[in-house]
Each structure stands twice: as C-alpha cells, then as structure tokens.
Amino acid sequence: MDIFTHIFMGVLAGLFTLTTFSPEAIILLWIMTFLPDFDVFLEPLQKIRKMYFFSHKAGSHSYIVGIFFTGIVGFVVSLLRNISFSEVWLAGFIGYSIHISLDFFAASKIPIIYPISKKEYRFFADRAVNPLLAAFSGLNLLVLIIYYYTKPYYNVFMDLAFFYLYIYLIYFGIRTLLRIIIQVSLPKNQQYIPGFLPFFYLIYENDNTNNNLTFKLKKRFIFSLKKQDIVNQTILKDSNQMIFYELAKRISSEYRFFHKWSLIIPFIHESEDLINVVLILAESYSHGIQHKSLKRNKSSYFLSINFNKNTKQVISKVEGFGSFNKWKNKT
C-alpha cells in the first residue's frame, strides 16, 4: 500500500482515539502506521548477511513482531513520559496492525505470523501501489491539515473525519467483495488481479497440459461483457525454451519482486548464440500514456536474462519497468 494511505489511516485512527489515549500514545500510533516500511534501510544488511528478517516487507511485516517491537518502544516512551505502559503499547500496536493489514490487502505477500512461520500471505484486493488511491489519500490529508489550521469547530472537524472513514470503508468493502466474488467463480488455473479502479480487473491464466505451458492475461470489465486479450504465450515442454525458462525462474527467486509476487509471463527470444528470457510480473501490469503518440503503453515489471545457448551460462541480467511492445514485437 502507498505511503499516503498509510499516513492518512494513521491520522484518522488518531482522531478517533482523542478521548481515549494520551497525546504521546496517539503520536506513537500514527508513527507506527508507516514505520514498518523503514525496513527498506535494512536491505543492505540483508545483502551482506543474507538474513530474511532484513528484507523489505519481511520480518517487520508481522503481527507478532509488531507486538514485541511496539512493546519495547512503548516501555521506553512510558518511562520517558511517565504514562501508562499498557496505553502506549496498545496504541502503538494498533498503528502497527493498521500498516500490516493494509499491506496484506494489496499485492505483495507478507509473513504475518513471522517468526513462527516464514510463509507469506496476501488477500490481493488492491494494487501494491495504486496511484489513484495514493493521490486521493494525499489530497484528503492536505484538506485535513488546512482545515485544522483554519481553527474549525471540533464537531465539524470530526464529521469530516467520519466522512472520510465511511468513504474508505466503502472503497475497501467494494474491493473485498469483488475479489471474493470473482475469484470464487474462476477455475483453479486463473487468478484475479485488481485494476486501478474497481470497474475493471485482470485475469491471469496458467494452463499446464501434457505438451505445453500457456500463459494468458486478459482485461475484463464489471459492467460489461467486453473482454480484452492482453498477452498469450506458450512454451512447449520438450523444447529448448522450456529449459531456459526453468533456469530463469530459479534465478528470479533471488529478486525481491519475484519473491513477493508469483504470476509470471515469459517472453523468449533466440539468436544464433544467445537466448533471452524475459519474465514479466502480471501483478504489476499497467496502462500508461505515451505522451508523443498518445497511444496506450502497456508496461510491467520485468527481469531480462541473457544465456549462452550452448553452455547455459548467464551472460547478463537486467531488471526494471518496461513496455510490453518491445517484447511482443520480438516474439
């Protein structure tokens, strides 16, 4: 989930606990709604020590870790400010839980019961980063700040906060219902992928037959029977391409995005001496606009690996965010 929505949810939670918690506890609650994402600064340690805990959206994104971490912080705050330990601990854990719950709702898998288990979960009802939701949350946060400094009436200010709360409950409720209804109706080899707006969504399909693997991505609409085929790729199981696809998949597990997401679509290009395998993540698929041509630009996160065709050695690896067009044109 985006940082603006994390922060805004923390602000709302703080407003609704004004008469329950002390100012110190409310501030701690708000800080904890975005603090878990500071684990990005631990990534260098993860690369050095190869410890799962230090990965982004790993050990820090656990309710159990949250209990202990907010307990330690709460103990320090209670000593420094001479306030109830249980109060600041509870407030901190509420904020921490809000963050984890929002991330669980989005695309990235997180280990919600680490260290009991490293198994990662996701509900996948919204995008990992939805720019429309981020812009909406940022605007709402700005409105509350401006309104606060105009010295509003308390009741009017709280009415505005409740209005925002209802809007978000309706939004998350619609997202949840769509995810459940659509996914339940799909066969086991298909996966629902939310769109930027609730009015459209994507369907990822992976067919494993005796002879080949097929990967499909389609766009569908809530209020229409219209369907749009985005990509359709097939790999023969007894082919040379299958060997290099399996090699690329093993390598991709070393990359954070491919570890957290799982819906892969391959593009494989052959030359005389090289085989290029491009793995794209269907979860990150998006429509953009090419400003010069004003045409739709289909893009996604990818990992491109060049292999020596004879020795199967890796020659180069590139990851990033790129257009579908250049991959499809080579197919």
* Predicted TM-score (pTM) of this structure: 0.86
| Res. 50 pLDDT band, cuts 50 70 90 | low
pLDDT at 94: 95
pLDDT tens for each residue of 249-281: 999 988 888 888 889 999 999 888 899 999 999
The pLDDT, as a whole number, for residue 205 is: 95
> Tokens 């707006």 identify what position?
197
Instruction: Kindly report the backbone phi and psi dihedral angles of residue 135, in degrees, each rounded to the nearest multiple of 5, phi listed first.
Output: -65, -40
Q: Does pLDDT of 288 surpass 90?
A: no
Q: What is the mean pLDDT of residues 36-64?
A: 76
pLDDT for 149 equals: 85
Predicted local distance difference test score (pLDDT) of residue 147 = 86
Average pLDDT, the chain: 87
Residue 216 has pLDDT above 60, yes or no: yes
**Is residue 282's pLDDT more than 50?**
yes
**pLDDT surpassing 90 at residue 92:** yes
Model pLDDT, residue 22: 92
Can you give the pLDDT at residue 153? 83
pLDDT above 60 for 6 = yes
